[in-house]
Amino acid sequence: MRVRKRVLIICVLILLILYTARVIVVNKNADKVPVYIYDVGETVDFGNDYVDTVEECIDGYAVQVLGYEVVDTRELYERYNMGQADEATVKNTPFYCLLKVRIYNKDCDLGEEGGLMLDRYSLTGDNYMTLVSENVFCTIYPDMPGTSFSLRKGTSMEFELPYPITRTEGCTKEDMQKKAPMLEISEFPNRKLLKAG
């Protein structure tokens, strides 16, 4: 009986070592997505890059980050006449990052077939990632059809994109002021990040 247990333990250990070695080899040889980081003010083409699916490609569009502002939730509500922010809202979302961007349609003729989906482009930092608040965006820009739209070829528009920073993000207002966030516009086949400050 003891011999069987020893043989079984040795076999399990050998399988565990082989499995671990295989995982290490696969991870070491895996293709890594190239990461490109652009400075604030640079105009970056979307090209054939996308966040989740290739259908998101909007070749001909470009974006430029102009800066950012960190705003308390109450101040944001007051600034854009959004009513009174209740205590639960302020507790869960103490502040917003208003990212100032200019979006260009340099050479895209897709019309309504292809355009921007602002809710796909995340704001990232060392310990947080957040998406545009569609409700706040639509309040700031009541004439816009939402966070998905297209621009006429040869035109551009400037926006303040409202990114809520919730208490679960683990980021303080001081953290954001010390180290500027970055706008992520694509993950595949290239990851493109634009510095906000």
CATH of the domain at 110: 2.60.40
Average pLDDT score, the chain: 92
* pLDDT at position 137 over 90: yes
The radius of gyration of the chain's CA atoms, rounded to the nearest angstrom, is 23
Peptide bond into 189 cis (omega under 30): yes
Q: Which parts of 73-190 are beta strand (E)?
A: 95-105, 116-117, 122-124, 129-130, 148-149, 155-165, 182-186
Mean local confidence (pLDDT), 68-74 = 96
Judgement on whether residues 79 and 50 belong to the same structural domain of the protein: yes
52 and 18 in a common domain: no
Which pLDDT does position 57 carry in this prediction? 87
Question: Structural domain tally of the chain?
Answer: 2
Chain segment 150-194, per-residue pLDDT in tens: 999 999 999 999 999 998 877 888 888 889 999 999 999 999 999
Same domain, 73 and 163: yes
Query: Does residue 71 share a domain with residue 40?
Result: yes
Do residues 17 and 43 share a domain?
A: no
Per-residue pLDDT, 54? 85
CA dist list (Å): 56 to 21, 49, 115, 118, 162: 37, 8, 8, 11, 21
Domain span at residue 7? 1-30
Same domain assignment for residues 117 and 158? yes
Same domain, 20 and 82: no
Residues 19 and 115 in one domain: no
Residue 178 CA to residue 126 CA, distance in Å, equals: 12
The answer to whether residue 27 scores a pLDDT higher than 90 is: no
90-121 per-position pLDDT tens digit: 999 999 999 999 999 999 887 767 788 999 99
Do 82 and 16 reside in the same domain of the chain? no
Residues 76 and 165 in one domain: yes
Q: Which residue has the higher pLDDT, 1 or 32?
A: 32
* Residues 64 and 134 occupy one common structural domain: yes
Q: Say yes or no: 22 and 85 in one domain.
A: no
